[in-house]
């Protein structure tokens, strides 16, 4: 299934690997920030209602 | 119904909650199709060999790095002219995504350049303008982080965004009007003669669509978070004042 990448295999695979890492970090950062924002707002709304 | 209605944070949150799952789903699907098609089912290029497979990452990320800055520019101008908070927060939310896109473009470009040009980096006009754009992104984020008053931060970052647009334009058009340098011409152009071959072009379009939709999804989610942070801060200040 894996295509024959020849002498450039390391370059091609490292480009895909580096992109996966950078994109992964970005997605985790955005999702985590979203969870923190939701929790902060929920906490303020609870304390306002309480 | 006017587009400006969505400058209302409540309406924006309501609409974005409906749009987000579609943007995520379509984005992941397009990116998956583009990368699998490009990586597994396209031939090697007669000059570049298998390194041609890097274009499915490098071209879309470079395109988004520049267009993210233009999106921030439009949002910043809306903030400066009409003072809609959602637009300033959307610009702020787009910056980390733009940083990641610029970094992917720089890293994949360097990885491609090493076997093709024999060097990881040259002070070529396109590469240099891209590096400066990356530094502008970092400066933009640092400015938001360094100023306590959100409205002042939005004003100053908007001005920085206008200044940085010079380098976004340079990055976009440097391959067209700067003949010196190692970087080749644009892979995508309105002139079909200049495009990459069809066999690479079709999966590349899917990959670009995936990057665009995921950018859209990440910026929507980031903007929602910024609105929620702003609302939590306002409630906290109101609570302290009482």
- How many angstroms away from the CA of B104 is the closest CA of chain A? 6
Q: Which residues contact B197 (CB under 8 A, 6 or more apart)?
A: none
Output the six-digit token pair for B105: 């473009």
What domain range includes position A40? 22-50
Q: Cα–Cα distance between B133 and B169 in angstroms, integer? A: 10
CB contact under 8 A, A8 and B49: yes
In the predicted model, what is the mean pLDDT of residues B121-140?
A: 91
Per the CB < 8 A criterion, the answer to whether B204 and B42 are in contact is no
Residues from chain B contacting residue A11 (CB–CB below 8 Å): 51, 54, 111-112, 114-115
Task: Express each pLDDT in B166-218 by its tens digit.
Answer: 878 877 776 666 666 666 666 665 555 566 788 899 999 999 999 999 999 99
Q: Cα–Cα distance between B154 and B91 in angstroms, integer? A: 9
The pTM is what? Answer: 0.91
Residue A10 is assigned to a structural domain of this protein: no
pLDDT of residue B32: 97
The mean pLDDT value of chain A amounts to 92
At B231, which CATH number?
1.20.120
The mean pLDDT value of chain B amounts to 89
Residue B6 is assigned to a structural domain of this protein: no
Q: Cα–Cα distance between B178 and B194 in angstroms, integer? A: 16
CB contact under 8 A, B114 and A14: no
- Cβ neighbours of A2 (radius 10 Å): 8
Residue A37 is assigned to a structural domain of this protein: yes
ipTM entry: 0.93
* Of the partner residues A1, A5, A41, the one whose CB lies closest to the CB of residue B228: A41
What domain range includes position B232? 19-179+198-241
* Of the partner residues A22, A37, A47, the one whose CB lies closest to the CB of residue B239: A47
Lowest mean pLDDT among A16-20, A27-31, B57-61, B233-237: B233-237
* Of the partner residues A16, A22, A40, the one whose CB lies closest to the CB of residue B229: A40
């Amino acid at each position: 299934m894996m295509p024959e990448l020849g002498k450039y295999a390391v370059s091609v695979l490292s480009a895909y690997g580096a992109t996966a890492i950078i994109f992964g970090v970005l997605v985790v950062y955005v999702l985590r920030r979203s969870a923190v924002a939701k929790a902060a707002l929920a906490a303020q709304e609870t304390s306002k209602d309480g | 119904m006017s587009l400006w209605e969505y400058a209302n944070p409540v309406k924006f949150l309501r609409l974005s909650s409906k749009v987000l799952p579609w943007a995520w789903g379509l984005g992941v699907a397009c990116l998956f199709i583009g990368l699998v098609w490009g990586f597994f089912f396209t031939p090697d290029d007669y000059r570049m060999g298998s390194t041609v497979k890097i274009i499915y990452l490098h071209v879309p990320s470079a395109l988004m790095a520049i267009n993210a800055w233009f999106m921030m520019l439009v949002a910043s101008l809306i903030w400066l002219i009409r003072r809609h908070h959602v637009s300033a927060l959307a610009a702020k939310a787009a910056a980390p995504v733009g940083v990641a896109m610029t970094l992917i473009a720089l890293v994949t470009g360097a990885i491609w350049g090493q076997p093709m040009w024999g060097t990881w980096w040259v002070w070529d006009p396109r590469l240099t303008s891209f590096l400066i754009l990356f530094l502008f992104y970092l400066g933009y984020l640092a400015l938001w982080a360094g100023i306590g008053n959100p409205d002042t931060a939005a004003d100053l970052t908007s001005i920085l965004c206008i200044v940085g647009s010079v380098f976004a334009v340079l990055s976009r058009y440097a391959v067209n009007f700067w003949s010196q340098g190692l970087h080749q011409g644009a892979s995508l152009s309105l002139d079909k003669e200049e495009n990459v071959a069809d066999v690479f072009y079709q999966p590349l379009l899917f990959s670009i669509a995936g990057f665009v939709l995921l950018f859209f999804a990440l910026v929507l989610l980031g903007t929602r978070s910024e609105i929620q942070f702003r609302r939590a801060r306002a409630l906290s200040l109101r609570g302290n004042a009482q």
